[in-house]
Chains A and B, each alone.
Chain A
């Protein structure tokens, strides 16, 4: 028992290692939200008329909405007038190469293990780094351009590829979708834009790194990925934020479009600041992510490792419109201390012979609560649709909770839908078995948890699988006795 409490103490006292903040000259918008702020953001980004109008429409729609309250957790009401909607490091001229980026900023990313200059050159991953509201730098742009791949920040895309942005922005997640999507559409700051042309297999992993730095700011980025016919792309995002006592809002929107025979693999390693052990501070991660399988045989695969944020509330979804299209969702959500996670997916089968697979693993420790909420919907015309869902929860400590809300709606008799779920804790017998064979309790837990999550971790690109495994180890190290 004493050993157990020692170990728990140790985990609870584990500090968030990305909790520093960078002192850098910032340019921010005044606090609060009104039409002028929306215009201010748009003007700052020198946006064309149509985009400003889109933002204003979204803002007006947002005003008519009420904050949703169906989620399985409570949070103090967000004061939307107390948030800074735009914060950017001051910069005078447009940057042409990394050498011109403020060294202070580069140091920040260096500290986060995201070296924009050296490290990634070796691993061959193209990185777009977003610091508060703006994209700082995108690496490997030229090499990608040779293949015809467009990988740049959203603000750049608006100017350089307006026809693509105008065609696809809001086509998957319209601003009328939900409260936070409307807010994002009104004030979105930056994000990544990816376009893979017909028949191209993107030669390297694409990655975006998000960092909230400034105080009292909200981060509202928008990511748009379009994979044209027969193309393939693998994309990864990572996130961190400094330790602050107030809660900060992160309300992003991610839209994916996969055309005929295209495949998009989207992986997230989310490690926003989770708040301290009493639940003070931390990020509210309220994100809308959705992918459309527009063409036949298209495939979208979501993989997420969620270890951070005070509250995570998101459901990466797939709309399977094309016949024979395929959607996948792999998730590991780890909550500790007072964290809350309400996450899952939606698989909407519209085309015939569509397939989807959901594997969700939730681990809750401390006083945290972990909820899986998912929807599998088979429309009446979706003949021969197939879904398999597995969601397992593991409980560590007797004050944690695990909840499952799977919605299954089927209107076609040829559909085969399966849902399986289990909840358990690490068995004493399992630990005993390992102990007997000379494996220490600590290691045994690592073994069991890793085995529990393996199915999901295997989906991550190599380098990130290692990062995710480390994250898991940090979040859970010894929290069971």
Chain B
């Protein structure tokens, strides 16, 4: 049975759901899987994947061995396998009164008021049918609540593993993080998969950042060659808050990121940087959107790509400056290096501006490795592949330098060295 049919059947079977789920399901059924005719899905669609016979990961009960390389990082750790919390891998180091770190399922029984105050309130479902699909079923994933003024010493490391060892599988993940006023927290998210079978993971993250809070979030996407990932992230920022989100996409068949920032309070700052490396026939699609709703906010966006073989990358950055968001400063760059004549990049740095006192710049470049630099290195006896790798590492350094976790930076540099 195709995944789409399974979804419809599962919806009928499940217990009477709440209003949010009901509405989300009807949105999903009405809108369907976005096709390539949809402007936001111009270059690829998940339609084919939904026609495949994927097994709902709820029905899988495997506990395969997982990659623990990043467990070296001293962190408050939550590990999810097919959306279920694997407590044997999880740990909590920071003992702060009021801090909640749990699975969403647990939070819905223990902290239902808190959860309901935020859940489904940030990420839009009306125009995003895959979000609606995620919202329509019981959520699985992480819940982190950082109370007012708390400064978390250790990062939160949240590892999501999709297992598709025996059967093609489908799973949905939900993250909800709330960072209260004056608090500080760091997050490391890793999306991984196990097994060579086709898998599709549909993720929705909601992050609410209150006044003066500081959040650093690093997202690492490294999946198996048949794994597909759709990740929608909505970050809402209150006044004077600072958020840095770095997205590193290094492997997996298809990665689609929707990263949306909404700067609701004055003088909120956000940094969204990304690095994507694609090879073979893979595809990475980064759609970002920054809504400048309030005045005096800044956004700094930079995405860099390295494209090999017959791969495809899509970048669509949208900055929307609303009517009264005066004194906005928005900066957006997308840079790409094509290492093959069969790789394709589609980029669209987009600005929509409704206020006059703003400074907005955006730019995009596409090119290949500088031949002069390559020649410089070669003439000093450095072999071609080493020289190339040096230049690419330097190119990626802009992004990786912003990651304040040495283990993670090391992992990414290693990946570039190994793969190029």
Contact assessment for B353 and A405 in the assembled complex, using a CB-CB cutoff below 8 Å? no
Contact assessment for B338 and A421 in the assembled complex, using a CB-CB cutoff below 8 Å? no
Contact assessment for A408 and B348 in the assembled complex, using a CB-CB cutoff below 8 Å? yes
* Residues in A neighbouring B323, C-beta threshold 8 A: 398-399
* Residues in A neighbouring B346, C-beta threshold 8 A: 407-409
Q: Shortest beta-carbon distance, A8 to chain B, in Å?
A: 13
Give the A-B contact count at a CB cut-off of 8 A. 114
Contact assessment for B341 and A396 in the assembled complex, using a CB-CB cutoff below 8 Å? no
Say if the beta carbon of A415 comes within 8 Å of chain B.
Answer: yes
Q: Name B352's contact: one of A398, A403, A409 (CB within 8 Å).
A: A403
Main secondary structure on chain B at its contact with chain A?
strand
Contact assessment for B349 and A410 in the assembled complex, using a CB-CB cutoff below 8 Å? no
Say if the beta carbon of B98 comes within 8 Å of chain A.
Answer: no
Interface digits, A210-230 against B, CB 8 Å rule (1 contact, 0 not)? Answer: 000000000000000000000
Among B326, B343, B354, B366, chain A packs the most CB atoms within 10 A around the CB of: B366
Contact assessment for A409 and B353 in the assembled complex, using a CB-CB cutoff below 8 Å? no
Contact assessment for B357 and A406 in the assembled complex, using a CB-CB cutoff below 8 Å? no
* Residues in A neighbouring B358, C-beta threshold 8 A: 395, 423-425
* Residues in B neighbouring A402, C-beta threshold 8 A: 351, 353
Q: Shortest beta-carbon distance, B28 to chain A, in Å?
A: 23
Complex Cα distance, B362 from A421, in Å, reads 5
Contact assessment for B342 and A411 in the assembled complex, using a CB-CB cutoff below 8 Å? yes
Say if the beta carbon of A49 comes within 8 Å of chain B.
Answer: no
Say if the beta carbon of A470 comes within 8 Å of chain B.
Answer: no
Say if the beta carbon of B359 comes within 8 Å of chain A.
Answer: yes
Closest B residue to A415 by beta carbon equals B366
Say if the beta carbon of B344 comes within 8 Å of chain A.
Answer: yes
* Residues in B neighbouring A413, C-beta threshold 8 A: 338-341, 343, 368
Contact assessment for B343 and A408 in the assembled complex, using a CB-CB cutoff below 8 Å? no
Say if the beta carbon of B367 comes within 8 Å of chain A.
Answer: yes
Interface digits, A404-438 against B, CB 8 Å rule (1 contact, 0 not)? Answer: 11111111111111111111110000000000000
Closest A residue to B342 by beta carbon equals A380
Say if the beta carbon of B149 comes within 8 Å of chain A.
Answer: no
Q: Name B351's contact: one of A396, A399, A408, A421 (CB within 8 Å).
A: A421
Interface digits, B315-357 against A, CB 8 Å rule (1 contact, 0 not)? Answer: 0000000010010000000001011111111111111111111
Say if the beta carbon of B9 comes within 8 Å of chain A.
Answer: no
Contact assessment for B357 and A398 in the assembled complex, using a CB-CB cutoff below 8 Å? yes
Complex Cα distance, B39 from A363, in Å, reads 26
Say if the beta carbon of B360 comes within 8 Å of chain A.
Answer: yes
Q: Shortest beta-carbon distance, B294 to chain A, in Å?
A: 15
Number of interface residues of A (CB under 8 A): 35
Complex Cα distance, B135 from A267, in Å, reads 54
Do A422 and B364 form a contact, CB below 8 Å, given A380-B342, A395-B353? no
Closest B residue to A374 by beta carbon equals B348
Among B354, B356, B357, B368, chain A packs the most CB atoms within 10 A around the CB of: B356
* Residues in B neighbouring A399, C-beta threshold 8 A: 323
Complex Cα distance, B349 from A406, in Å, reads 6
Q: Name A415's contact: one of B338, B349, B353 (CB within 8 Å).
A: B338
Do A398 and B349 form a contact, CB below 8 Å, given A404-B362, A417-B365, A421-B363? no
Q: Shortest beta-carbon distance, A265 to chain B, in Å?
A: 28
Closest B residue to A420 by beta carbon equals B363
Contact assessment for B350 and A419 in the assembled complex, using a CB-CB cutoff below 8 Å? no
Contact assessment for A417 and B353 in the assembled complex, using a CB-CB cutoff below 8 Å? no
* Residues in A neighbouring B368, C-beta threshold 8 A: 413-414
Say if the beta carbon of B110 comes within 8 Å of chain A.
Answer: no
Chain A residues 358-403 with CB under 8 Å of chain B are 380, 383, 393, 395-403
Q: Name A410's contact: one of B344, B357, B359 (CB within 8 Å).
A: B344
Complex Cα distance, B368 from A412, in Å, reads 10
Closest B residue to A404 by beta carbon equals B351
Do A417 and B351 form a contact, CB below 8 Å, given A409-B346, A410-B338? no
Contact assessment for A397 and B366 in the assembled complex, using a CB-CB cutoff below 8 Å? no
Complex Cα distance, B335 from A418, in Å, reads 9
Say if the beta carbon of A50 comes within 8 Å of chain B.
Answer: no
Contact assessment for A405 and B348 in the assembled complex, using a CB-CB cutoff below 8 Å? yes
Closest B residue to A394 by beta carbon equals B356
Contact assessment for A409 and B345 in the assembled complex, using a CB-CB cutoff below 8 Å? yes
Extra pairs beyond A395-B358, A423-B351, A424-B360 (15, CB < 8 Å) = A380-B342, A404-B350, A404-B351, A406-B348, A406-B350, A407-B348, A409-B347, A411-B341, A415-B366, A417-B367, A418-B363, A419-B364, A420-B363, A421-B351, A425-B356
17 contacts between A and B (CB under 8 A): A395-B356, A396-B356, A400-B356, A402-B351, A402-B353, A403-B352, A406-B350, A408-B345, A412-B341, A413-B340, A413-B341, A415-B338, A417-B367, A420-B363, A421-B351, A423-B359, A424-B358
In the complex, the 4 A-B pairs of residues with the closest C-beta atoms, listed nearest first: A413-B338, A395-B356, A417-B366, A419-B364
Chain B contact residues, CB within 8 Å of chain A: 39, 323, 326, 336, 338-368
